[in-house]
Structure 1
Amino acid sequence: MASALLRAPRTLAGHDLTARQAVVLAVIALTVIISLDLLDHRLGLPFSLGFVLVVATLPLAVRPDALFAAGVAPPVLFAAAMLLVSAFFGSALVLDGTPDDVGILGRALSGTIAFGVPLLIGHALALGVIVARIVNSPAPSR
């Protein structure tokens, strides 16, 4: 019975996402996470955990030919999230000591500083998953 659980049918490989589909789903997931976290008008732990989970599962969902996009996506998604949150919800990204008249880029930078650890953890996990998928992929038949 255990061997039946370990073997997945080859037809499941056809259900992997393209790079575009995976990025669109990641953007939708991050939008939902940010929306829920902004209910208290501050980004916090839910954003951090949600970001790490989204970018760590992204390489698991894509086809092997889309692994590059899954590896590049975490910093791009993070930068886009910080810029959009700072543009529309600037008070959610304020560090102590940040002047009140700081612009969008200043708030995005302060958000990057505040949430830099989740970015590093999420990107490291995504790259680790990509390496594991490449190492465990079957050798091409000749």
Structure 2
Amino acid sequence: MSSAAPQRPRPASTTLWEEGRRPGREVVALAVALLLTATVLDLMLSERLGLFFDLAFVTICVGAALAVRPRDFFTVGVLPPLAMALVIVLLALSDRASIARPDDGVAQAAISGLSRHGIALGFGYAACLGLLALRRSFVDRRRA
């Protein structure tokens, strides 16, 4: 016999826009963990951060925007630039040669790394914000 209270069944979701039900903190933690994993994998495959990282970054941004619950949209909306900056600063402190010239200072390496991956940042951020905007409009129309 179970002592847990019976749970109400959730209504079945009908569209992709209704699927996101995860708390913002969970989504951010998972996204950062996946991004750091992608960074390590990319650096294992080559000496510099490259296309694999960029594609993983954009994919993670899209996944985060689709996974988060509507009340935590802001948390995921600010995630892409902060996550990219986190990875780049960590690499500027630990392995400058992976994002810039080895003799660059920390600040210069960080700026170089951000500029080299700026296109991925732009696409990931635009996709994240675009999906969040679509989801917000869908949620607002459903409430009306």
TM interval, shorter chain, is 0.7 to 0.9
In structure 2, list runs of 5 or more residues that go unmatched.
1-10
Matches within 5 A, 1:79-98: 79-94=85-100
Query: Which of 25, 34, 37 lines up with 1:32 in the alignment?
Result: 37
> Take 1:70 and 1:45, find their aligned partners in 2: how far apart are those partners?
23
1:96-115 Cα distance to aligned partner (Å, 9 max, x none):
xx5x5321111010011111
3-state SS in 2 of match to 1:87: helix
Displacement after TM superposition at 1:15 (Å):
7.2
> Take 2:19 and 2:77, find their aligned partners in 1: how far apart are those partners?
21
Q: CA RMSD in A?
A: 1.8
Q: CA, structure 1 residues 18+37, in 2 after alignment: closer, same or farther (shift >3 Å)?
A: same
Displacement after TM superposition at 1:82 (Å):
0.5
> Take 1:102 and 1:91, find their aligned partners in 2: how far apart are those partners?
9
> Take 2:57 and 2:81, find their aligned partners in 1: how far apart are those partners?
11
Q: CA, structure 1 residues 47+69, in 2 after alignment: closer, same or farther (shift >3 Å)?
A: same
Q: Aligned pair count?
A: 127
Give % identity: 32
Q: Runs ≥4 in structure 1, deviation > 2 angstroms?
A: none
Q: TM-score, normalised by structure 1?
A: 0.83
Displacement after TM superposition at 1:34 (Å):
0.2
Cα contact 2:19–2:67 (8 A) shared by 1: no
Say if 2:119 is the partner of 1:113.
no
